[in-house]
Amino acid sequence: MSDPKKLALFISGTGGNALNLVRACREGRVPAEPVLVVASKAAAPGVLKLRSEGLLVAILDRKDANSDEVYSKVCLDVAKASGAEFIALAGWLRRLSIPPEWEGRILNIHPGLLPKFGGPGMYGMHVHRAVLASGEKESGCTVHLVDDELDHGRILAECRVPVLPDDTAETLQQRVYAKEMELYPKTVAEYLGENPR
Ligand code: GRF
């Protein structure tokens, strides 16, 4: 088996998906070694959780950069300096501009089906509220490659769940989130296995 890939995790929130990926790596279910966490704000609850797993967490706040472009470059340069070969966005809420050297090496999980429930404003509970408002019978989560356009890169995998008649945004979020915990590690593992660098 080839060496584990070095993986950076980018978070803005609870760090639940990131922690789940870290555990999957450590249990040998994902052929990667987490080398760095980048957090977009110091107050993200995931910061403490991931630090207590022994991970180096770099806090890079958008407010400290002059522009989205500078911010994006700094985040990717810090990941590169850590030795990361791949990046998994895990609840990351900042725009990234993807230079050619990172194309095909950054993955994201989205809590809805794409392309219909993606794009500006479609994050977190907004997605689940939009799904309920649209009367869809199904929702789900999607793992995709990241490019310069929001929620747009090549779809690698999706998992569908039913929308139940008495669902609230919260109950739907919980059903989708449970599937995220399965889909992201599985898809990252498959993708890294197919893409030696
Ligand atoms: C998840 O629902 C994920 O799909 C989306 O952001 C949320 C992050 O949750 N990209 P967590 O911080 O991993 O708990």
- Rounded Cα gap, residues 158 and 8, in angstroms: 22
The whole-number average pLDDT for the span 79-97 is: 97
Question: Considering only CA atoms, which residue is closest to atom 9 of ligand 1?
Answer: 91
Residue nearest atom 6 of ligand 1, based on CA coordinates: 91
**What percent of the chain clears pLDDT 70, i.e. is strictly above it?**
98
The minimum-distance atom of ligand 1 relative to the CA of 180 is 4
Q: What is the dihedral of CA 178, 180, 184, 185, to 10 degrees?
A: -10
| pLDDT for 195 | 77
pLDDT at 2 over 90: no
Burial pattern 55-89, b for ≥16 Cβ within 10 A else e, equals bebbebebeebeeeeebbebbbeebeebebbbbbb
Question: Over the chain, what is the mean pLDDT?
Answer: 96
pLDDT in tens, 116-149: 999 999 999 999 999 999 999 999 999 999 999 9
10 DSSP β-pair partners: 38, 89
Instruction: Kindly state if the Cβ of 91 falls inside 6 Å of ligand 1.
Output: yes
- The Å distance, Cα 1 to ligand 1 centre, comes to 31
Picking from 196, 197, 160, the residue whose alpha carbon sits closest to that of residue 180 is 160
Q: Any idea which residues carry the catalytic annotation?
A: 110
User: Cβ atoms within 10 A of the Cβ of 130, count?
Assistant: 17
CB 184 within 8 A of CB 21: yes
Q: How many domains does the chain have?
A: 1
Give the domain extent around 179.
5-194
Q: Spell out the long-range contacts of 152-155 with Cβ–Cβ below 8 A and sequence spacing 24 or more.
A: 152/115, 152/118, 153/108, 155/114
The pLDDT score that the predictor gives to residue 189 is 98
The DSSP bridge partners found for residue 32 are 5
Instruction: Look at residue 197 in the predicted model and tell me its pLDDT.
Output: 61
**What pLDDT, on a 0 to 100 scale, did the predictor assign at position 79?**
98
Read off the pLDDT of each residue in 41-60 and give the average, rounded to a whole number: 97
Average confidence (pLDDT) over 13-18: 97
**Which secondary-structure segment (H or E) carries 8?**
strand 5-11
CATH of the domain at 68: 3.40.50.170
- By percentage, how much of the chain surpasses pLDDT 90? 96
Confidence of residue 3 (pLDDT cuts 50, 70, 90): confident
Looking at residues 142-162, what average pLDDT do you find? 96
Instruction: Output the pLDDT for position 194.
Output: 87
As beta bridge partners, residue 33 has 6
